[in-house]
Amino acid sequence: MNSYNGMELMICLASRYLGDDGTVVVGTGAPCAAAMLAQKTRAPKLMIMFEAGGVGPLLPSMPISVGDSRTYYKGLVSTSMPEIMETCQRGMVDYTFLGGAQIDMYGNINSTHIGDYETPKVRFPGSGGANDLASLCWRTMMITPQDKNRFTNDINFITSPGYLTGKGAREAAGLPPGCGPYKIITDLAVLGFDEETCRMQVELIHLGVTREQIIENTGFELLWADEVLESAPPSEVELEILRNEVDPRRYIIGRG
Partner 1 sequence: MANKNVDFHVTGDQNVTYKKAGKRRLFTNPDADEAREFFHAKSRRMVDKTTTVKEAVSRYIQNGDYFAAGGFGSNRIPAAVLHEMVKQKKKNLGFAGHTSTHDMQILIAGNCLDRCDAAYIVGLEARGLSKISRKAFETGAIEATEWSNATLAWRYKAAAMGLSFLPARSTLGTDTLKYSAAVEMPCPYTGKKYAAVPALYPDVAAIHVHRSDIYGNCQIQGIAVSDLDLARAAKRLIITTEQIIHNEDIRRAPHSTVIPYYLVDAVIEVPYGAYPSNMAYEYFTDEDHLMEWLKAEKDEEELKKFLDKNIYNCENHWDYLEANGGLERMNQLRTQENLTDRR
Residue 92 interacting with partner 1 (CB under 8 A): no
Residue 108 interacting with partner 1 (CB under 8 A): yes
Pick from 100, 103, 106: nearest CA to 165: 106
Q: Which of 95, 97, 157, 193 binds partner 1 (CB under 8 A)?
A: 157
Q: Do 168 and 129 contact (CB within 8 A), yes or no?
A: no
Which range touches partner 1 (CB under 8 A), out of 40-48, 59-67, 194-202, 242-250? 59-67
Is 227 catalytic? The answer is: no
For partner 1, the binding residues in 1-30 under the rule CB under 8 A are: 27-29
Q: Which of 2, 80, 149, 235 binds partner 1 (CB under 8 A)?
A: 80
Between 146 and 159, whose beta carbon lies closer to partner 1? 159
Fill in the amino acid letter for 201. Q
Distance CA 242, CA 143 (A): 16
Pick from 146, 195, 191: nearest CA to 168: 195
The DSSP bridge pattern shows strands 180-185 and 139-143 to be parallel
Number of Cβ within 10 Å of residue 113's Cβ equals 20
Q: Which of 19, 128, 219, 256 binds partner 1 (CB under 8 A)?
A: 128
Q: Which of 42, 92, 150, 158 binds partner 1 (CB under 8 A)?
A: 158
Distance CA 100, CA 145 (A): 11
The DSSP bridge pattern shows strands 122-123 and 113-114 to be antiparallel
Between 204 and 253, whose beta carbon lies closer to partner 1? 253
Distance CA 123, CA 206 (A): 33
The DSSP bridge pattern shows strands 180-185 and 189-193 to be antiparallel
Residue 136 interacting with partner 1 (CB under 8 A): yes
Residue 170 interacting with partner 1 (CB under 8 A): yes
Query: Least distance (Å) from partner 1 to the CB of residue 8?
Result: 18
Q: Do 16 and 235 contact (CB within 8 A), yes or no?
A: no
Residue positions counted in the chain: 256
Which range touches partner 1 (CB under 8 A), out of 3-11, 114-122, 180-188, 202-210? 114-122
Residues that bind partner 1 (CB under 8 A): 27-29, 51-54, 60, 64-69, 71-73, 78-82, 85, 88-89, 108, 112, 117-132, 135-136, 157-161, 164, 169-170, 172-176
Return the active site residues. Answer: 51
